[in-house]
Structure 1
Amino acid sequence: MKYTKKIVLLLSVFTVLYSCSTRKDTLISRNWHALNTKFNVLFNGQEAFKKGVKEINDGYKDDWFQQLPLEPIKFEEDKIIIPNLNSGMGSGFNDNKKEESKATTPFGIAEEKAVKAIQKHGMNINDLERNRQIDDAYFLLGKARYYEQRFIPALEAFNYVIATYPDANLIAETKIWRAKTNIRIDNEEFAIESMNLLLKIKDTLEADLPEETKEHGYTTLAMAYIKADSIQNAKKYLIKATDILKDRNQGARNLFVLGQIYSSENKKDSALLAFNKIINFKKAPYKYKMHAHIELAKNATNDSTSAAILEKMYALIKERENRPYLDELNYQIGYLHEQNDSIELAVDFYNKSLRAESDNIKQKTFTYERLGNINFQNSEYLAASAYYDSILNIAVDTLNLRFRRIKRKHRNLASLIDFEKTVSKNDSILRIVSLPKSEQEAFFQKYIDDLKKKDEEAAQLKLNQQAFGDTFGGNILKSNKKGKWYFYNTESLNYGKAEFQKIWGNRALEDDWRWSSQINSNITDNDSITVNKKSSRYDLASYLKTIPTEKEKIDSLHLERNEALYQLGVIYKEQFKDTKLAINRLERVASLNPNKELILPINWHLYQIYTNLNNDIKAAKHKNIILTDYSTTKFAQVIKNPNKPIKEEIAVNKIEELYKEMYYLYKEDKFDETVTKINEILPTIQNSKLIPKFELLKAYAIGKYKDKEAYKIALDFVAVSYGNTEEGKKAKEIVNQLSK
């Protein structure tokens, strides 16, 4: 009897297994494989796929200063994998895969599960698939490959579904994904054609497409048209997609991109409508709402709109949940104030933007740039240069047009800053030189006293940090028993006692126990607040020795300062068109008894400036100097014949001869004479293409008889003023070598 039961049981098991074979077209077999595919293999694959998409969305950082991509994913341009032509079945499901290798990424796992479903549960009987879940497996396979940037194998999977399962319920979604994949391989024309067939002619067995599918399709069409640079068509389908708004993430993104397109076209009203729609879209993710508020500020059309938006921005700043956006909000408030000519308020909010905790480097570069431009416009060139320098120090992508412009501006300021520093340094030295001995001693003694005070404060701060910062509070926090109060935590209490004795020793319970005189020998000399009174830092005699006393050295300081002042005057006049500072520097150098070769060009530049300002009295003063003392020069001839067209005063061949003369002077080691002669020649050849050659030769001569700093300043002037010439490039190359 028992033997019979065993036989019946074995036969039953065999019958069930046989009926569940992938080669048997039975009801049990179809349902068994469909259920296993859906709720076992595909379920795990789809969960892995969702995880991968979530990781992409969480890790993707939008550049809100650029038009957002419609799909928040960044693909590497050169990472398109060529498929294995022997993949079999036309589906490419075993593309370059080895059975023994195990996937580790979410999309790799999703692909692995899809392949497993196809291989183990596929029921292709008489060229007809009997497992209704296999089309879902191929669909998942294509999507996983899409996100892995394996577009050609992804296309194979999508095409296989479309060709093999034309009646599948996901056929429309598969065609949309196929179109997206074609866009990625620069085949946007096919994507547009296939999407038009799907959405316009309704190339599907269903009467109508679901709203979610339509939204996805319109978004894909907009992607294709953006790729094809057909912005008007892209707008058309973005509008259709944003009329549906079933997908909260994609819908908000579509609205934002639509608003950005309107803004780029200067259609402010349409842009405002799009961004307001995001704000009123309850399901929109918060980041889109916040940046929609910021975009409203960028697109304010009039004062009343600006005032209302400004009030809203103030309210947003006060909300705790908006702390991650404080840098952007403060920047935008600053920008609105700047547009309203409230410069002080603008600067205040720009600085608040910089102080806000944020890892948004690009936002910081824009804030630094605004502050740099404000200082530049206010003739605060040193501060402007510092802000531009900050941009170049933190910027990641410095190759685009914006950063090249900033680099050029910063480079132009570099020589100006060097000249200003030279003037400031030499003025300080010469002022000290002019003081009586007693005042010199008083000056440096005050400096030493201030230095001692700062050193003592720094030493005391370090001591306090060692006693109560690094040990008392810092290491205790690392205790595993963080939940207990300090004095109830035996471990922390014992540690604290040991550290106290290590630093302070055994102290009696008395007042003023922390005075430095009570500190035990465990405190190192470096930590003591008592400074070394014999340090050279505090030696008055060592400072007095640095004051130059030789006449040659003092005269050199005067000459260097005057040359820098003259160069500053020319730079402010010619490059920055800042007549106020140009007059200031040129008038000052004129009052300092400059070298003879500077007098004529100084008066000429001042004559030109005052003439342009219609200040006839001061223009006449400098004109008379030129006509009286330099009547035979070309400058005097130009003044006497103002209506005569200014042509190149000297013929080209004559200029070449002059250059040869200067070059021979230079080769004869007459460097001082070379510089003097070139300074006399330069004003007379203002329109000549050979000016850069003269300037570079002058810089070489300066480098031969002056110090390295003067040589660099002269080369900087050539590099900045004639940067596009061979001479300018050569000067820049030498400056770079000198700076190493």
Structure 2
Amino acid sequence: MRQTFKYILSFSAIAFIFTSCSQKKDKFINRNWHSLNTKYNILYNGNLALDAGLKDIEDSYQDNYWAILPVERLSFSEDLFSEFNNQNANFERAEQKAIKAVQKHGMNIKGKEKNPQIDEAYLLLGKSRYYSGRFIPALEAFNYILFKYPGSSNINSAKIWRAKTNLRLENEATALENLKALIEKKQLSKEDQVDAQATLAQLYLNTKRVDSALLHLRNAYTLTKSKPLRGRLHFIEGQIFNELGKKDSADLAFQKVIELKRSVPMAYRVNAFLEQIHNFDYSNGDREELSTLLSDMEDNREYRPYLDRIHHTIAKHHLKRENDSLAIAYFNKSLRTDSKDTFLTALNYHNIADLYFDDSRYTRAGTYYDSTHVNYKKNSKPYRAVKKRLDNLQDVIYYEAIAQANDSVLNLVAMSKSEQEDYFERLIKELKAEQEQKSTAQNNYINPSTSFGSKNASSKGKFYFYETATVAYGKNAFANVWGKRPLADNWRWSKKTISGEVSKSMASKAEGETNKDILTVSYYLNLIPADSAQIDSIAKERNFAYYQLGLIYKNKFKDYQRSVDKLEALLDQTPEDRLVLPAKYNLYKAYTLLPNLGLATQIKDEIIRDYPTSRYAQILKNPAAVLAGDEKGPEAVYKALFEKFEASAYQEVIDSCANEIIRFEGDEIVPKFELLKTSAKGRLYGFGEYKEGLNYIALNYPNSPEGKQAQELIDNVLSNLENDDFKNLSEGKNFKTIYQFNAQEQELINTFKKELAKVLEDEEVLSLKVSEDVFNKNTTFVVVHGLRSIQGARGFAELIDIEDNEILAQPSFAISSENYRILQIHKALDRYLEKREN
């Protein structure tokens, strides 16, 4: 009996469970069964997963204190809508739980949901999608609540979350309309009021309506009980006041953050202190008190995670006090903290670079600008500004390296034998000491010296190769200009370049030497060039570097005194004649800009007296006559010659360019004339002349646009043009018939072309074109284009019936388009005709 009772009880329980599990029966037991299971099982675990995901965001999120903080600590990558973007396993689990709740426990009976927990499930679904960055699916979930559950207790929360989602989707107008309507009803809980006010504040910040943003920020931090949120909102308020230039109001807002003490994250308090320091009034404030505060912050163990920003702020403090050496020291301290803030890293490098630049130490500045632009966001405004300055500095670094290296060699050449021996004995002692401390020196070199203005940082009076940093900058500049070059003779020519003769001599003598040999005086004495031609080559290269530096300092950096120093030093070194006049003219311009009108007038009189027919003398006598638009100005002359180049007047272009290069020596337009002349030579004389001309331009104008273009052509184009082997005569799809004329017989050529065009028009058999092509200075071709086979090209004369027209009875030959290209590039007419006959 007792056993039977157990069976009956078990069967009844199972039947009860099965009956209550039904989602289609609208009964008390069914509703409560599904409601309880939804709330205390599925949604409970789903909300735990959501909370864990929010904790992950809290732990991993990095605020950007260089911009106004967002109200909500949430960020997504730019590729916002890519699949699985910003996915967090906890949010994914929360979404799955929400979907399960709807699918397993939803009781949609006759169009009405009978489970009161399903709206909670949809709210969880929307939140999990929102935090995963999937805003459109999230919006669908929130809209479903508003559509299906208008009487839900979560209706206001759903409306706020819908507005937040629209804000993320940049639908500000829709979000604003919805939030305003919601707030006007005044039926929100305090928690919802805080959410709505904070969302409105963010909306107004996004639309640059800062006054309205401030109003809603105040409403939000007044209502909220969350001290971390209150601290964040006060901090944002302070940042907005800073943007508006209201420093006193900003400091009050930051002080409210500080007064919350440990109730807010440490990052808020530290950055609030730093923002107040940035707003410090150096004219009226207590500087010593500020220094004490900064020192205390630096020493505070709790603030160690923020030393990168603290050291940067201390560096800016020293800048304000015009203590540049300490500023650089602290910028470097900030760099050594290994900060994850790349913008801060860029600012540190940028500040150091600017200090060196302002001190006219351009080589060292270039190194720091290089590190700066690597850390700025690519194509941002500061990135572009730094890149432009860095590009300008590359020329300075390059030419300063040449000038210092060649000066050092020439100084050695000028010494007596005993002076040379004494010098190298001192050098060897230093090298030995350096070798003993090599590992230490290498570690120290990871961060360049910060001794701003110190003796070691200056290169004045020092041998180029003593200054390790300068050598490094020279190598860096060299690599930027020339790329990786093999250790070989004539390396500057066609990818094989600076102090060519010296490099060749030293490389050949150093080859095979051991470290022991390098530490002997005789080794260095043998490296000093003795050949007069070699020494003259070094001096010429040094002089050209000085000239270029004079122009760069004057034109690009407006450093007129440094320009004067370089140009005066050049003229003292008895440079070659081609540099004297342009150097004097640019020296006159620099004196005028300093201003030093007395010396400017002296140089001006010298130019007019000693070079009366030169262009520079004409400029000085009558500046209005040489404006850029003048028909005799460099741009106008170049334009006219380029038009002649396009008209195939190649010899005239070559001769005129040669004259204009001399006439405009020292002008920035000279490389353009050189490249035009080289192009004309290539068209007239072939590949060899073209290659030689490009190498000359790349060698002598490496940092001009034309020099870089020439090097690119050498690297990427010449190899494709070098092959001079003709293809099989009948191979190809397009062929030409070539008529050969003496270039002096222009009247005959014109008559022939006219008759040929007339015959082709009368025949109306083929769609052919006729052109006149220059082959070389003695030969001109009349070319018939559009023939489809070698046989057709050979039989072209028969097609036009030349027997009735003596003018057209000229000798001709057939050629494929590909072979014609090779013929023109390499000027290999005789070789082709010989191949044709064989």
Q: Give the TM-score band, short-chain normalised.
A: 0.7 to 0.9
**Superposed, which structure 2 residues align to 1:125-524 within 5 Å?**
125-202=109-186, 204=187, 209-282=188-261, 283-305=263-285, 307=287, 309-393=290-374, 395=375, 397-456=377-436
Distance 1:43 1:242 in 2: 30
1:583 maps to a residue whose letter is V
The alpha-carbon deviation at position 114 of structure 1 amounts to 1.5
- For the residue of structure 1 that corresponds to 2:223, the secondary structure is coil
Residues 351 and 444 (structure 1), Cα distance of their counterparts in 2 relative to 1, 3 Å cut: same
Residues 110 and 197 (structure 1), Cα distance of their counterparts in 2 relative to 1, 3 Å cut: same
Residues 230 and 657 (structure 1), Cα distance of their counterparts in 2 relative to 1, 3 Å cut: closer
1:43 aligns with 2:44: yes
Deviates further, 564-573 or 265-274: 265-274
Residues 81 and 578 (structure 1), Cα distance of their counterparts in 2 relative to 1, 3 Å cut: closer
- For the residue of structure 1 that corresponds to 2:284, the secondary structure is helix
Counterpart of 1:651 (choices 619, 631, 641) is 631
Deviates further, 5-14 or 544-553: 5-14
Distance 2:67 2:673 in 1: 45
Distance 2:136 2:628 in 1: 65
1:122 aligns with 2:109: no
**Superposed, which structure 2 residues align to 1:75-90 within 5 Å?**
75-80=76-81
Q: Provide the alpha-carbon RMSD of the alignment.
A: 4.0
Residues 62 and 637 (structure 1), Cα distance of their counterparts in 2 relative to 1, 3 Å cut: same
Give deviations 1:599-633, integer Å, cap 9, x for gaps: 22222222233334453432343233223212333
2:531 maps to a residue whose letter is E
1:632 aligns with 2:613: yes
**Aligned residues between the structures:** 630
Residues 698 and 55 (structure 1), Cα distance of their counterparts in 2 relative to 1, 3 Å cut: farther
Deviates further, 136-145 or 343-352: 343-352
Residues 248 and 368 (structure 1), Cα distance of their counterparts in 2 relative to 1, 3 Å cut: same
Give deviations 1:438-464, integer Å, cap 9, x for gaps: 3334433443444344445559999xx
Residues 692 and 263 (structure 1), Cα distance of their counterparts in 2 relative to 1, 3 Å cut: farther
Contact kept, 8 Å, 2:349 with 2:371, in 1: the verdict is yes
Contact kept, 8 Å, 2:678 with 2:690, in 1: the verdict is yes
Contact kept, 8 Å, 1:275 with 1:296, in 2: the verdict is yes
Contact kept, 8 Å, 1:111 with 1:140, in 2: the verdict is yes
Aligned to 2:20: 20
Distance 1:562 1:161 in 2: 81
Contact kept, 8 Å, 1:37 with 1:117, in 2: the verdict is yes
Deviates further, 135-144 or 596-605: 596-605
Residues 443 and 348 (structure 1), Cα distance of their counterparts in 2 relative to 1, 3 Å cut: same
The alpha-carbon deviation at position 679 of structure 1 amounts to 5.3
Distance 1:81 1:458 in 2: 51
Residues 401 and 18 (structure 1), Cα distance of their counterparts in 2 relative to 1, 3 Å cut: same
The alpha-carbon deviation at position 259 of structure 1 amounts to 2.7
Residues 365 and 671 (structure 1), Cα distance of their counterparts in 2 relative to 1, 3 Å cut: farther
Residues 61 and 353 (structure 1), Cα distance of their counterparts in 2 relative to 1, 3 Å cut: same
Identity value in percent: 36
1:681 maps to a residue whose letter is F
The alpha-carbon deviation at position 328 of structure 1 amounts to 0.8
Aligned to 1:681: 664
The alpha-carbon deviation at position 20 of structure 1 amounts to 3.0
Distance 2:34 2:16 in 1: 13
Deviates further, 376-385 or 331-340: 331-340
Distance 2:696 2:372 in 1: 26
Distance 1:537 1:672 in 2: 51
Residues 459 and 359 (structure 1), Cα distance of their counterparts in 2 relative to 1, 3 Å cut: closer
Give deviations 1:173-229, integer Å, cap 9, x for gaps: 111111111222332222111111111223x4xxxx232221111121223334444
Residues 253 and 320 (structure 1), Cα distance of their counterparts in 2 relative to 1, 3 Å cut: same
Residues 70 and 309 (structure 1), Cα distance of their counterparts in 2 relative to 1, 3 Å cut: farther
The alpha-carbon deviation at position 581 of structure 1 amounts to 0.6
Aligned to 1:72: 73
Give deviations 1:60-106, integer Å, cap 9, x for gaps: 22222233333222234554489xxxxxxxxxxxxx9xxxxxx9811
Distance 2:317 2:297 in 1: 15
- For the residue of structure 2 that corresponds to 1:75, the secondary structure is coil
Counterpart of 2:702 (choices 694, 715, 719) is 715
Contact kept, 8 Å, 2:547 with 2:583, in 1: the verdict is yes
The alpha-carbon deviation at position 387 of structure 1 amounts to 0.4
Contact kept, 8 Å, 2:53 with 2:88, in 1: the verdict is no
**Superposed, which structure 2 residues align to 1:686-697 within 5 Å?**
693-694=672-673
The alpha-carbon deviation at position 562 of structure 1 amounts to 1.0
Contact kept, 8 Å, 1:372 with 1:384, in 2: the verdict is yes
TM-score, structure 1 as length reference: 0.75
Aligned to 1:509: none
Deviates further, 443-452 or 414-423: 443-452
Give deviations 1:97-135, integer Å, cap 9, x for gaps: xxxxxx981111111112222222333444443433222
Distance 1:362 1:261 in 2: 20
1:678 maps to a residue whose letter is I
Contact kept, 8 Å, 1:324 with 1:358, in 2: the verdict is no
1:133 maps to a residue whose letter is Q
1:65 maps to a residue whose letter is W
The alpha-carbon deviation at position 659 of structure 1 amounts to 8.5
Aligned to 1:500: none
Deviates further, 406-415 or 298-307: 298-307
- For the residue of structure 2 that corresponds to 1:548, the secondary structure is coil
Contact kept, 8 Å, 1:176 with 1:216, in 2: the verdict is yes
Aligned to 1:603: 584
Aligned to 1:574: 555
Distance 2:674 2:300 in 1: 59
The alpha-carbon deviation at position 263 of structure 1 amounts to 2.3
The alpha-carbon deviation at position 576 of structure 1 amounts to 0.8
Contact kept, 8 Å, 1:226 with 1:234, in 2: the verdict is yes
The alpha-carbon deviation at position 566 of structure 1 amounts to 1.3
Distance 1:65 1:77 in 2: 19
Aligned to 2:494: none
2:570 maps to a residue whose letter is V
1:237 maps to a residue whose letter is H
Distance 1:673 1:294 in 2: 65
1:64 maps to a residue whose letter is Y
The alpha-carbon deviation at position 24 of structure 1 amounts to 4.7
Residues 54 and 104 (structure 1), Cα distance of their counterparts in 2 relative to 1, 3 Å cut: closer
Give deviations 1:135-169, integer Å, cap 9, x for gaps: 21111111111122332322222122223333333
Contact kept, 8 Å, 2:309 with 2:344, in 1: the verdict is yes
Distance 1:421 1:297 in 2: 42
Aligned to 2:5: 5
- In the alignment, structure 2 segments of 5+ residues that lack a partner are 443-512, 682-688, 718-838
Contact kept, 8 Å, 1:703 with 1:710, in 2: the verdict is no
Deviates further, 542-551 or 629-638: 629-638
Deviates further, 360-369 or 294-303: 294-303
